[in-house]
Structure 1
Amino acid sequence: MHETEIISRVTKIVSNHKIGVLSTVENNQPHSRYMTFFLQDLTLFTPTKKDTEKLAEIQKNPYVSILLGFAEKGSNDEYIELKGVCTLNETKEIKKKFWNDSFNSWFEGPNDPNYIFLEIKPETIRILNGEHMSTKEYKL
C-alpha cells in the first residue's frame, strides 16, 4: 500500500471515530483512557489539561499507543493501532484550529492557559480488520 492510500485510510477512520483510547506508561504498567483525537497529516492531536497525571507519565516515557475506529457494528470494523512519540503542543494555531464548544466544560476558551494538546507522531500504524480481515503494518 502506498503512503497516499495509508493516509487516506487513516484519515477516514479518524474522521469517523474521533474518540479512541490513549495508553501511556505509569510505574511500568499500561494506563489507558478515552480521548478525543484530531488528525493533521498523520499526526494525531488530543486536547488535555496542563495539570493532568498523563503529562507526568509522558514526560517520563513519551511512547504512547492509540486505538481508534472500532465501533458497535461488529468484528469486521476497520480500526487503527498507532504507536508513536508524544510531545506537548501549546501553540495558538493548534488550540484555535481544533477548538470545539463542547470543551467549555473543561476550559474557558481556546486561550485558556490550561488548555493544551498532546501531539503524537506515529512510528508504526497498524490497520486492522480491513480488506478481508488482514492486518497491515506500516513503519514511518
Structure 2
Amino acid sequence: MSQQDLKSQVMKIISDHKIGVLSTVENNKPHSRYMTFYHEDLTLFTPTKMDTEKTEEIKKNPYVSVLLGYEEKGQSDAYVEVFGSSSINDSQDLKMKYWDEAFNQWFQGPEDPNYVFLQIQPETVRLLNLNGEKPQELNL
C-alpha cells in the first residue's frame, strides 16, 4: 500500500472514531483510559480538566499512545495506533471549536480555565488488522 493510501485509511479511521484509549505513563507503568478525540490532520486533541492526573503525568513524561478504531466486530476490525508526545493546549480558539454542551457536566463553559486539551503530536502511526495484513507504518 502506498503511503498516500495508508494515510487515507488512517484518516478515515480517525475521522470515524471519536472514542479511543489514551495511555500515559505513571510511575514507569502504562495508565490507560477512554477519551474523546478530535483531530486536525494527524494531530489529535482530547478535552480534559487541567487539574487531573493525566495532565500531571504528561508534565512528567509527555509520551503517550492512542488506540482508535476497534468496533467489537471481531478479529477483522482495523484500528490505528498512534505513538507521540502530548502537551497541554489551552487555546481559546480550540476550546470554542470543539465545545460540546455535554461538557457542561465538567466545565462552566468554553471559557472555564480548567477546560483544556491534550494535544498529541504523532511520531509513529500504525494501521493494524486491515484485512488480515501485517501492521503498516505511516512515515511522518
Q: Counterpart amino acid of 1:25? A: V
Cα shift at 1:7? 3.4
Cα deviation, 1:30-55, whole Å, max 9, x if unaligned, reads 10011000010110000000100111
Between the aligned partners of 1:100 and 1:4, the Cα distance in structure 2 is: 32
Equivalent position of 1:120 in the other structure: 120
Between the aligned partners of 1:6 and 1:116, the Cα distance in structure 2 is: 31
Matched, 1:21 2:27: no
Equivalent position of 1:59 in the other structure: 59
Matched, 1:85 2:85: yes
Structure 1: 4+ residue segments shifted above 6 A: none
Q: Counterpart amino acid of 2:19? A: I
Q: Match of 2:103, SS? A: helix
CA RMSD of aligned residues (A): 1.3
Q: Match of 1:132, SS? A: coil
CA gap of 1:27–1:8, structure 2 versus 1, over 3 A, is same
Q: Gaps (5+ residues) in structure 1?
A: none
Mean alpha-carbon deviation: is it higher for 95-104 or for 76-85?
Answer: 95-104
In the superposition, the TM-score normalised over structure 2's length comes to 0.93
Equivalent position of 2:12 in the other structure: 12
Q: Match of 1:10, SS? A: helix
Cα deviation, 1:55-90, whole Å, max 9, x if unaligned, reads 111011000001110111111011001000001110
In the superposition, the TM-score normalised over structure 1's length comes to 0.93
Equivalent position of 1:134 in the other structure: 134
